[in-house]
Structure 1
Amino acid sequence: MDASAPSCLNPAALTPQALRLEQERQAQLLAAIRAGHGPLPAGWAGHRVGLLAHQRHARATARRALAGAYPVLAAWLGEVEFEALAWQHWCQTPPRRGDLARWGAALPEALASEGPGTGTEHASLAALEWAVHVAARAADPVPGLPQGLDALQTTPPEALWLLPQPGLALLPCSPQVWARWCAAQPMPPPGSEDPPMPCEWALVRRVGWQVAVRALPADQARFTHRLLAGDNLGEALTRAAPGNFQDWLRDALAEGWWRAVSTAAPGSLHDEDEEP
């Protein structure tokens, strides 16, 4: 079989032995594409130039896929540096699923490993962009006020949990990263006016078909973080009560952060993990 092109065989039509051989062939081809040198894959019937063509295609695919999730980071780094970053990430953490929109979750951590300085800012911006990317793909928000809201008046806070809307996320965000994010948006987020609102945390949420990002004061962020970490309302109030709970509650209800108030501890508050 000519191994110069990826196989389009139907796995269901292969015997177990043939499927194993095909998987090995594909693994050898992908390894050769990532390496770009060394021995040609077993069964390769073409010239090395064919392998390099596959590698060029893979590099372009990696850049497009990662730029879809990280457009602001791509513009910051520039085309050449971002393409090199995308290819490095593709080689070190290759996709595991066919949906490339789910690939790239590990990039912020990879950038953070570069150490303090610019790498930290790159990682912080990447974390914000990935949260926006996940929120854009999340389920539609539950409309209206949170279900069970009346329980706030009838049930002790130690027996209440706030369940976030799909895609809701809270991230640390330095003023420098916030300014770069805001500058890249066609419609500046609230709080990004000049002079800018001090920003240490950014809240990401779905608003209809769009994703909204806003700066959150530190005291409200600490409280919201405890709720997203799984604390019940009583624990969150004890550990990190905001300066004005009524102000926090007003914004949370007006902007639709929570889908329900629950009297049962949830198994998980978080969306399904994306592929690295």
Structure 2
Amino acid sequence: MKADQQAFVDALLGRGAAPAGLTGSQRGLAAYRNNIQALSAQALAVPFARLREELGEDEFASLAWTFWRVHPPESGDLGRWGGMLAGFLVERAGEASGLPDLARLDWALHQAERAEDAALDAESLALLGSHAPDTLWLQLRPGVSLLAQTEGAVLVWRQGWRGQSQALADLDAVFVRAVLDGVNLAEALEAAAVKGSGAETDFDFAAWLQAALQNAWLQGVRATPPNRTTTSS
């Protein structure tokens, strides 16, 4: 029975012939397959709108169907399907194609839009004036991530209900990556200072903080270390 079920799934996904004795016509099987094929393109287009625009509708639909057959959804929430697409594109098209970077950006923006809502803890900002930097940790809002793209670092976040992105200067990227890695403020500042030694301008924490407040990157300042869960990539 289990083998028959797997054979049916394989036939449905175009991986093999229908099992002998399967009730229903080949026309019915083809109809099911066409429905799933259309669903794959519709579902993947939600998080990967920029990739779809780059490839065109027909090529994107072909990609979606191939990806579905190799990495089918693991849950009924199709909004969670697509996290492996960048790696899939590396194997199929290579990094030089630019498609994996585009997929990474699309997925990060999608994740940011699905992230938990969190308001700024404005009162916690007072800790910056009363505590030493090595006793403080910055907490960025859910959905904030840092991408290492071919053209440089890109910060992704949610403002309102829309995903946003912008390129970061090297020192800002070093600082944000340190914050996302869960180090204290003093260590994050030191990392940016070491990177900036030489001809580069020193990292301007005051300017970064102003941007973090204006763009809703920062959730608050904490006097206890967070769980070290890296969200950079």
TM above 0.5: yes
1:105 partner SS:
coil
In structure 2, the residue matched to 1:60 is 38
Give the AA of the match of 2:37. Answer: R
In structure 1, the residue matched to 2:198 is none
Distance 1:255 1:48 in 2: 55
2:125 partner SS:
coil
Distance 1:174 1:117 in 2: 9
Q: CA RMSD in A?
A: 2.2
User: Relative to 1, partners in 2 of residues 1:28 and 1:155: Cα closer, same or farther, differing over 3 Å?
Assistant: farther
Give the AA of the match of 2:167. Answer: A
User: Relative to 1, partners in 2 of residues 1:208 and 1:46: Cα closer, same or farther, differing over 3 Å?
Assistant: same
TM-score by length of 1: 0.73
Give how far 1:36 is off: 4.5
User: Relative to 1, partners in 2 of residues 1:56 and 1:207: Cα closer, same or farther, differing over 3 Å?
Assistant: same
Report how many residues are paired.
Answer: 222
Distance 1:246 1:65 in 2: 42
Distance 1:148 1:122 in 2: 41
Whether contact under 8 Å (2:94, 2:100) holds in the other structure is no
Distance 2:20 2:175 in 1: 57
User: For residues 83-102 of structure 1, what are the structure 2 equivalents within 5 Å?
Assistant: 83-102=61-80
Whether contact under 8 Å (1:202, 1:213) holds in the other structure is yes
Distance 2:20 2:181 in 1: 49
CA displacement, residues 105-161 of structure 1 (integer Å, 9 cap, x when unaligned): 11112112343421xx1011111111111111112231463x522222222222221
Distance 1:144 1:158 in 2: 20
Indicate which of 99, 102, 105 corresponds to 1:122: 99
User: For residues 24-39 of structure 1, what are the structure 2 equivalents within 5 Å?
Assistant: 26-38=5-17
Distance 1:144 1:42 in 2: 63
CA displacement, residues 68-121 of structure 1 (integer Å, 9 cap, x when unaligned): 110111111112211111111111111010010110011112112343421xx1
Distance 1:103 1:116 in 2: 21
Moved more, 165-174 or 126-135: 165-174
Give how far 1:43 is off: 5.9
1:171 partner SS:
strand
User: For residues 132-171 of structure 1, what are the structure 2 equivalents within 5 Å?
Assistant: 132-143=109-120, 145=122, 147-171=123-147
Indicate which of 69, 93, 98 corresponds to 2:47: 69
2:167 partner SS:
strand
User: Relative to 1, partners in 2 of residues 1:101 and 1:42: Cα closer, same or farther, differing over 3 Å?
Assistant: farther
Give how far 1:30 is off: 2.2
Whether contact under 8 Å (2:156, 2:166) holds in the other structure is yes
User: For residues 1-276 of structure 1, what are the structure 2 equivalents within 5 Å?
Assistant: 26-38=5-17, 40-41=18-19, 44-113=22-91, 114-118=93-97, 121-143=98-120, 145=122, 147-174=123-150, 200-241=152-193, 243-269=203-229
Distance 1:43 1:152 in 2: 72
Distance 2:228 2:220 in 1: 14
Q: Which has the higher contact order (CA 8 A, sep 6+)?
A: 1
In structure 2, the residue matched to 1:274 is none
Distance 1:202 1:163 in 2: 18
